[in-house]
Amino acid sequence: MNSTSTVRVKEKIRFDINFHREQNKRILLNSRRGVIDEGDQNDVFTIEDMQNVALEIVRKKPRITVNDFKLLKHGLLNGQEFILAFCHTHGAVDSLLHCASSKNEAVKLVAIECFCNMALGNKKTCIKLANLITPYFMVYINSFNFNISSVSIWTLGNLSGSDEDSCRLLQNQNLFGALIDRLKSSTCDEVILNTFYALKLFLKTYIYHLKNEELNELLHICLERLNSWNESFWIVYQISCRQDCAMLDQNLIKRLFLCIHTDEDMLDIKCIVSIIRTFGNIIAMDNSGNSANEFIIGLHNEGSVIRNILIKNRHINLNNECAWLLGNVYNVLKFTENEINSSSATNNFSDICNYLIV
């Protein structure tokens, strides 16, 4: 292969990598969008259009209507440059916040929805929004209007997923504690679901800055909801990554296996992924071997349930994660020979591998 051909191959590989990276970034972005208006799609919406919409909102601030926000909601979904075009229009963000404080709840809701999509901006934009809107939205998350509460929580969740600086500003207003309170007290499914979403992003970005007592409180709440909310399993997994919470022990392994036994029909592959990762984290930090032995005993009893779910989802390859879990079990037991000799379960270590490697 000559030098010209080598250059072309490298360029093609670079193009493919960049294309897939942007594609994956877009998929992630779409999953975090709180409001998508399918009826207002317009493929020719331009930056200039966004600037005109922003100016209209500034000029019509005293008499803004719900319809005036439709173009804005769609425009903010077009990418970072459209969000920046709005934010750089003098007075636009302040005017939008004014509308989000309206006594007209329809206008208030649609303005909050715009902020929800704007919170997908870059780091600088999110820090600016966190400084500006957090005091207001911390009030809105407790609104008796469930729609306003739900979208406000989603918005703060999007800001949480930006970076640690944004999370620090949010935590200065006690966002984490407020989300825990919402999880405990709310009776609205949408509010609870969005609270789980916000907590997941907040923990992903800021978990190592949170107090152990706060994490234990959230862990306790999620354990109570394992039988009713699948999202609880993922939060439990995230907390297990800290590995210094008092409740992360063999008793939690028993609790998770009990859920597998009693709620087999409710569990899906996402639950199994989080459960497998939680098992691995707990076993890795327990050098006594107690958690490893508890896992082996539980897997002998409920392993067929896990195996069936893995088989039904063969298109999702979890062999590496399952091998990592089994490796943690083996490594712990290897250094605790007394446990190996005293536990009949460990004599069949190769058998338990068959439950997870499918």
Residue 323: both structure tokens together? 């091998």
Non-local (6+) Cβ contacts of 341 within 8 A are none
Q: Where are the alpha helices (DSSP H) in the chain?
A: 3-31, 47-59, 70-75, 80-87, 92-100, 105-118, 123-140, 146-160, 164-171, 175-185, 189-206, 212-224, 231-240, 250-262, 269-285, 290-312, 319-334, 337-342, 349-356
Asked whether residue 26 is domain-assigned, the answer is no
Asked whether residue 269 is domain-assigned, the answer is yes
For residues 223-241, give the mean pLDDT: 93
Last residue of a domain, one of 118, 144, 166: 118
pLDDT score at 138: 97
Residue pair 260/307 in contact (Cβ under 8 Å)? The answer is no
Q: Is the pLDDT of residue 13 over 80?
A: no
Domain that holds residue 255: 249-358
Token pair 């600088």: residue:
124
Domain total for the chain?
A: 2
Asked whether residue 81 is domain-assigned, the answer is yes
Q: What is the pTM of this model?
A: 0.84
Asked whether residue 91 is domain-assigned, the answer is yes
Residue 300: both structure tokens together? 């002998």
- CA-based nearest residue to 236, from 246, 226, 228: 226
Q: What percent of the chain has pLDDT over 70?
A: 83
Residue pair 286/312 in contact (Cβ under 8 Å)? The answer is no
Asked whether residue 218 is domain-assigned, the answer is no
**Whole-number Å distance between alpha carbons of 110 and 31:** 19
pLDDT score at 342: 46
For residues 49-64, give the mean pLDDT: 81
Last residue of a domain, one of 63, 86, 118: 118
Last residue of a domain, one of 101, 118, 135: 118
Asked whether residue 2 is domain-assigned, the answer is no
Asked whether residue 225 is domain-assigned, the answer is no
Residue pair 290/283 in contact (Cβ under 8 Å)? The answer is no
Q: Is the pLDDT of residue 316 over 50?
A: yes
Residue pair 219/250 in contact (Cβ under 8 Å)? The answer is no
Q: Is the pLDDT of residue 131 over 90?
A: yes
Residue 166: both structure tokens together? 């944004």
Residue pair 32/154 in contact (Cβ under 8 Å)? The answer is no
Residue pair 289/333 in contact (Cβ under 8 Å)? The answer is yes
Asked whether residue 256 is domain-assigned, the answer is yes
Assign 330 a pLDDT band (cuts: 50, 70, 90): confident
- CA-based nearest residue to 274, from 286, 285, 287, 260: 260
